[in-house]
Structure 1
Amino acid sequence: MPHCIIEHSSSIDSNALISLVFSASLESLLFEKDGSDIKVRALPFTQYQTGVLQSGADQLDFIHVTLKILSGRNTEQKKMLSNVVLSSLETLALKSCSISVEVVDIDRTTYAKVVT
């Protein structure tokens, strides 16, 4: 675990985002030390509307990361995880971009998985 889902403007490089989110998740020390349980995927969007426009910008870029983790972590751990991921994305120093991160609990009792 976790499942890290990055939704973003297509003008932003998916590979750079995947690398940053993976590294930040590993840095949090909440998951396996070798990163074997971290899964990251990116969904670039070409068609979207943001609610905020910067002066002189046609469209405000965006990055939104959803971190789905198994339930059981406390609020401080989840806040630290979201802050670590957000800080790593800020290193991109993007102009006219909204960056957000959310942590979502997956119910351990109903989660099912198989690896073949």
Structure 2
Amino acid sequence: MPHCLIEGSSSLTRLIEPAELVRLVDSCATASELFGPGEVKVRLALYEHFSVGGAQKDFVHLIFYILSGRTQAQKVALSRRIVRALVERLPAVNAISLDVRDIERESFSNKRNCMSDS
């Protein structure tokens, strides 16, 4: 199951409701057709204390963890789809970025695969 961690400045809440931001990212990820509906776990952390280029400017950064095996083109398409949507919705925010990271299938554990071991 893919995991998306959204980090941002707490002042973003004057531009977008946190729940809307989570829904936007989730809907973009689902629209990528790399994941099924309800598969993506999206979490949001807003920071009071931060620095962007030495100043307190709004930012959004996402780390998107997916199981290995996707092509580079699929990862680029996912990243660009989500960043474009964020830029459209948050045009006043200059620092918007996303990093797609692979989760090694061989070492990944979750409740389902951990409990099925003998």
Shorter-normalised TM-score: what interval?
0.7 to 0.9
Alignment gaps of 5+ in structure 2? none
Deviation of 1:97 (Å): 3.1
Output the CA distance in 1 between the equivalents of 2:84 and 2:111. 33
Give the CA RMSD over aligned residues. 1.6
1:24-63 map, 5 Å: 24-32=28-36, 35-51=37-53, 59-63=56-60
| Equivalent residue number for residue 2 of structure 1 | 2
Q: TM-score, normalised by structure 1?
A: 0.87
Q: CA deviation at 1:92?
A: 1.5
Cα distance in 1 for residues equivalent to 2:41 and 2:2: 6
Distance 2:80 2:34 in 1: 13
Summarize the Cα distance change of 1:90–1:52 in structure 2 as closer, same or farther, 3 Å threshold: farther
Please identify, of 94-103 and 59-68, the stretch whose mean Cα deviation from structure 2 is larger: 94-103
Distance 1:11 1:94, change over 3 A: farther
Identical counterparts, % of pairs: 37
Question: How many residues were matched structurally?
Answer: 109
- Where 1:99 maps in the other structure, the secondary structure is strand
Q: 1:102 aligns with which of 99, 103, 111?
A: 99
User: In the superposition, relative to structure 1, how do residues 107 and 77 fare at CA in structure 2: closer, same or farther (>3 Å)?
Assistant: same
